[in-house]
Structure 1
Amino acid sequence: MSEVSYPKVQFVEVQAEEAGQRIDNFLLKKLKGVPKSRIYKMLRKGEVRVNKGRVKAEYKIEAADMVRIPPVRVAESKTQVPTALNKVQALEKAIIYEDSRIIVLNKPHGMAVHGGSGMSYGVIEAMRALRPKAPYLELVHRLDRDTSGCLLIAKKRSALRFLHQQLQKKTMTKRYWALVNGQWPKKLKQVDAPLAKNQVKSGERLVRVTEEGKASLTSFRIIETFQSTTLVSAEPITGRTHQIRVHAQYAGCGLVGDPKYGEDAINQKLKTKGLSERLFLHAYSLKFRVSPESKPITVEAPLPQPLENTLDYLRAGNSLGD
């Protein structure tokens, strides 16, 4: 087990770019590899000082604050991201847009956006490992592990704040391709149904429509109709967990390849026909502004080949139904 060492007292002046974040998050970035428990212990004991005074973990730092960071040495238990792995290296090739403020990745199916829940690392940890000299890389939003497509990463805190404002004000447009079971009702343009998370006995997290849930709204548009399925464009107005998947199920048209909310018979047919068994959900388009003074930009991620193969199968007149 390797050791993380910061042997000397550090005095760090907060830059304007860093202002507004909590001191605990600031320290986690400055002391890479030091666990959260050690950071909080340092704050509780008063080892960390801001402008010579003690602060709590929730203190929000301001530009020109002088932060005293004590020496720290800990055994590093965090799993190192193996940058030689093909799927880690492939993330550099998956970049579809980059400038001084942001990166947009075409996230591959099957890779979580961050570590946890049994995953030692995810996209953000892998990107930080691939770019060790990058001072700041943070997820702007999330995609489910089984969903592919446009994933936005901020390279500056100011960009992160501005992009989060767009998400909160619902001025960022996110569109997905989704293949759903059955014929999508032509008159159904929006699904407005509150969603709540719950866990079943196995510990699996599921989302369901319930009056006690949070307000949730998704717009749907028919793109192409097949014998037993429909390709739709889905635009989530709100950003709830599994929102598109559950709203599609609620409309009577669960997503193809969805093990939680889809139809087992159709999912099984994907396997017997040698087609992609993955969830057919792909974030194909993002529209946003990088800065307050910039014009909106639209970034698109091409549909992965396995999903294109499924569409080619259906366009040939084949069906996934009975």
Structure 2
Amino acid sequence: MKQTLAWTEYCKSLAPAIVETCAKVSVSSGPVALVKALGAALPEWKFRHALSRGGWYRLGGILDHQGERVSDNLESWVENALDERDGDFAALCDDFIDKKLYATRLVGQTHYLVASAGDSTDGFLQLEIEDLQEMRVHQLFANEPSTLEELVDPRGGADQPVPVGLPFYTFRRIQHIGAFLGRMLAQKPEPAPIHRMIDDWSKSSASNTSAYFNHWVIATREHLDRYHQPVFRAQPIATLAGEAPEFAAASGTTGLKLNEALSHFDRESGYPMAWYFHMLTSKAVPYWVAQAVVEDSLGGFAYLPQRDVDVVRHWLHQPYAL
């Protein structure tokens, strides 16, 4: 636990240099320039770009019809305006229906960067940097909203988003993944699926060929439940470009043909046992394959190393999915 806390504090100490780097690097120069700048700011760490995930947005602020900023936080502005009217939503709409106010969104993607921090499977730093652009979206109150959601984030609006400024980088978080997973176990000693995946990687042929973070990042979340106890979530995301390879074997396939399908999947993915880890996560490989692999091994057709057969057999006895 002491080591977990030490990593947590150490990661916090790296944040100021990362924030400064994000402010200096232009998004138009791309992730390569970002990695280079981080290397200069934190020479003790060799970060590399692992994955980008986009297609999301969060609520922004409010602009008037001349583009002047009314508020940086749309939700807070609405809450305060409602409080001033004793929660009367209709009065709020009546007061602002004739004022041309526009909501903004921060549209972006998350860049995951990783760096080795030890020999263990989960011994790596994961840095998340967001690439954001503020966009002016719908005109507030023009759609005659009847709920708060319809006011702040209506669906299917006709307004075309208009960029407010240039895209920019912003620091989200940096964490030692092993320390995060350790905190999960401290809060709930029963291993979660992500712990079992890490353990399976360590025991399989994959660990002898490549580091886990060369092929996976882990999306983490932490919040407090209604009893103010921490709740942790961790979801592995494959860093493969595009979709997982196609698994070319029909249900019931065994022996040589199954071996060929597994080998092809692994070659396309870049490491042994990729088929197994995608069976757990992306579901690109169906579950029947695990049973067939073990039955082939018991029948004397040993195309997998024993350590990999043991991993699959253990999963059959205690299955899990992510």
The TM-score normalised by the length of structure 1 is: 0.24
When Rg is computed on C-alpha atoms for both structures, the one with the higher figure is 2
Higher helix share: 2
